[in-house]
Structure 1
Amino acid sequence: MNMHYIRRGTGRPLLLLHGLGGSWRSWSPIFETLAAERDVIAVDLPGFGNTPPLSGDVSIRTLADAVTSFLRQHDLLGIDAVGSSMGARLVLELARRGGVVGAVVSLDPGGFWRGWEIPFFYASVAGSIRLIRALQPALPTLTRSPVSRTLLFAQFSARPWRIAPQVALDELRSFAAAPSFDELLYTLAYGERQQGAPAGSITEPLVIAWGRQDRVCLPRQAPRAVALFPGAHLHWFDACGHFPQWDAPQSTVRLILQVTGREQLPGASSEVTARSGVSNKVLIAAALAVVAGVAWLVSARRK
């Protein structure tokens, strides 16, 4: 599989896999810092960024096949890997298969929702992408304002006003232009569930990290991910949303270098419900408020 990628730095190779709708630019807040320490390869997954979509069905399974083919083509099998959101689920799938990746850091992986969380995820993200597509002509203006960035990214970030305008613009343009977005969103929500790995089958370091204020993949899903990957260490990011590389870039870099450097990690946290943020009702209300706010922006621009 020929995938577009950016490669910079020297040292031990490190693979970065972005989330649904993103591209290699999703890593821009931490890319250069990582490249100062490692040989960093950030790819555009099939159907996103500058990589054409797959010819058949699009799923975590087929994306994992494509990434495996890419790594084999570039003699990178066994590479340390970091994934975000959908990419975080993807690196877990690669780790589960064995022999594809080395140490793994999975940042807020999707795919561990249950019950009402499934339609909540699907409807909130589907509503967001429709609004983002409608706002395309106005995005350069909107992303320059901390107020509109807050409305546009409130579901994805604990500090949306701090996201750099260019990062915000690149991400929203990538979301709107991705040909595989809609199909993969549905597959992620309602398709095949993520399989786990038996205890002891993954011998390389594996960390599943979660933002305590994640409003896309709720913090209550973290113990489910660890239960399927019993050898994983669970790491929490305080005051952080769905994308730690945006909300806590320095802490994210430190975690990645620690894990992939095979350094000793502290014991996993079990404080899931006590410190996981706000209640389910508040999360739903917040998501609806974001959608309503962005809808108001669309209406105001059209008048």
Structure 2
Amino acid sequence: MNMHHIRLGTGKPLLLIHGIGGSWRSWNPVLDGLSRKREVIALDLPGHGQTPKLPGENSFYTLADALESWLRDHNLVGVDCVGSSMGARLVLELARRGVLGAVVSLDPGGFWEGWQVPFFYYSVAGSVRLVRLLQPLMPAITGSAVGRTLLLAQFSARPWRVPADVALTEMRSFARTTNFDEVLKHLAYGQRQAGAPRGSIKPPLVIGWGRQDRVLPPSQAPRALAAFPDASLYWFDKCGHFPHWDQPQETVDLILAVTSQSTAPATAPEAAAPAS
């Protein structure tokens, strides 16, 4: 299928894949910084933004299949790629399939266990129901630092600092995503994320994690590394679930460093322990 996407800048292509409920606009805080060095391609996944949902089942793995087909149709196999949240899990899955170049995966889902599964599902499901109910008031809420603090505390370590336009765009996108509930249920309770044996993925592959992530706790990061032992781990300090919201310049610097080198940057603390 065709997926709506935008292209900015010039240079070697760099593909950006947003998370559940987002759109290409989710990357607005880092688009300018990335497009100064690369041709940035940011897409809307099926059911998100301006891309219609898939016919039949809309699950993580049907989205991954559709995305792989889209890459092949657009001669983008081997493209450098960055993903956020569900998009971060998607880029790990596509790296496992061998269809991507350098990869940066920011706070990927799929590595929860036990109580973390219902916590993820019900906390996100509750949040999106609230967002839908509050749509008429959303411009006023996101226009206030206090409103953003209350609304975005789950997603950001410093929600009052998230730009009002970024917050409003994301909350509008969450409410308008046509397959949100179906995809969320499959993410939480569907097929587990398969890993990749050591040596099967050519570096660079970097998994970034916010130390204050309240959606996917940092304790899940070692499981991601165990599943993808070819990856390096990069910790974002003073950062929640979306590094491109809380630490946009650091996110740009990491992405450009990883995707312009044959190995992960020396600053990526692979052995660092998660925050307690």
Q: TM exceeds 0.5?
A: yes
Match of 1:51 in 2: 51
CA displacement at 1:263 relative to structure 2: 5.5
Whole-Å separation in 1 of the counterparts to 2:192 and 2:262: 32
Whole-Å separation in 1 of the counterparts to 2:15 and 2:8: 11
CA displacement at 1:57 relative to structure 2: 1.1
Match of 1:240 in 2: 239
Determine if the alignment matches structure 1 residue 10 to structure 2 residue 10: yes
CA contact (8 A) 1:219 1:272 kept: no
Whole-Å separation in 1 of the counterparts to 2:54 and 2:127: 24
- Segments of 5+ residues of structure 2 without an aligned counterpart are none
- Segments of 5+ residues of structure 1 without an aligned counterpart are 278-303
Code of the aligned partner of 1:149? R
Whole-Å separation in 1 of the counterparts to 2:228 and 2:272: 18
Whole-Å separation in 1 of the counterparts to 2:29 and 2:59: 27
Match of 1:271 in 2: 272
CA contact (8 A) 2:8 2:41 kept: yes
Match of 2:95 in 1: 95
Summarize the alignment of residues 21-100 of structure 1 with structure 2, pairs less than 5 Å apart: 21-98=21-98, 100=99
CA contact (8 A) 1:213 1:219 kept: yes
Code of the aligned partner of 2:270? S
Determine if the alignment matches structure 1 residue 255 to structure 2 residue 254: yes
Code of the aligned partner of 1:173? R
CA displacement at 1:269 relative to structure 2: 3.4
CA displacement at 1:68 relative to structure 2: 1.3
Structure 1 residues 52-92: Cα deviation after superposition (integer angstroms, max 9, x where no partner): 00002122211111111111121111100000000000000
Identical counterparts, % of pairs: 65
Whole-Å separation in 2 of the counterparts to 1:56 and 1:263: 40
Summarize the alignment of residues 178-193 of structure 1 with structure 2, pairs less than 5 Å apart: 178-193=177-192
Match of 2:225 in 1: 226
**TM-score after normalising by structure 1:** 0.89
**TM-score after normalising by structure 2:** 0.97
Structure 1 residues 243-279: Cα deviation after superposition (integer angstroms, max 9, x where no partner): 0000000100000000000165226333324xx14xx
Whole-Å separation in 2 of the counterparts to 1:6 and 1:32: 13
Code of the aligned partner of 1:14? L
Structure 1 residues 83-107: Cα deviation after superposition (integer angstroms, max 9, x where no partner): 0000000000000001x11000000
CA displacement at 1:204 relative to structure 2: 3.2
Whole-Å separation in 2 of the counterparts to 1:124 and 1:184: 15
Whole-Å separation in 1 of the counterparts to 2:33 and 2:198: 34
Q: Which runs of 4+ in 1 moved over 3 A?
A: none
Code of the aligned partner of 2:174? F
The secondary structure found in structure 1 opposite 2:37 is coil
Whole-Å separation in 1 of the counterparts to 2:156 and 2:167: 11
Whole-Å separation in 2 of the counterparts to 1:248 and 1:222: 19
Whole-Å separation in 1 of the counterparts to 2:230 and 2:73: 29
Whole-Å separation in 2 of the counterparts to 1:216 and 1:235: 18
The secondary structure found in structure 1 opposite 2:249 is helix
Match of 1:125 in 2: 124
Whole-Å separation in 2 of the counterparts to 1:182 and 1:114: 21
Code of the aligned partner of 2:196? A
CA contact (8 A) 1:107 1:244 kept: yes
Structure 1 residues 110-161: Cα deviation after superposition (integer angstroms, max 9, x where no partner): 1100000111111111111111000000001111000010111000000100
Structure 1 residues 10-66: Cα deviation after superposition (integer angstroms, max 9, x where no partner): 111000000010000000000111011000000000010110000021222111111
CA contact (8 A) 2:102 2:259 kept: yes
Match of 1:106 in 2: 105
Give me the CA root mean square deviation.
Answer: 1.0
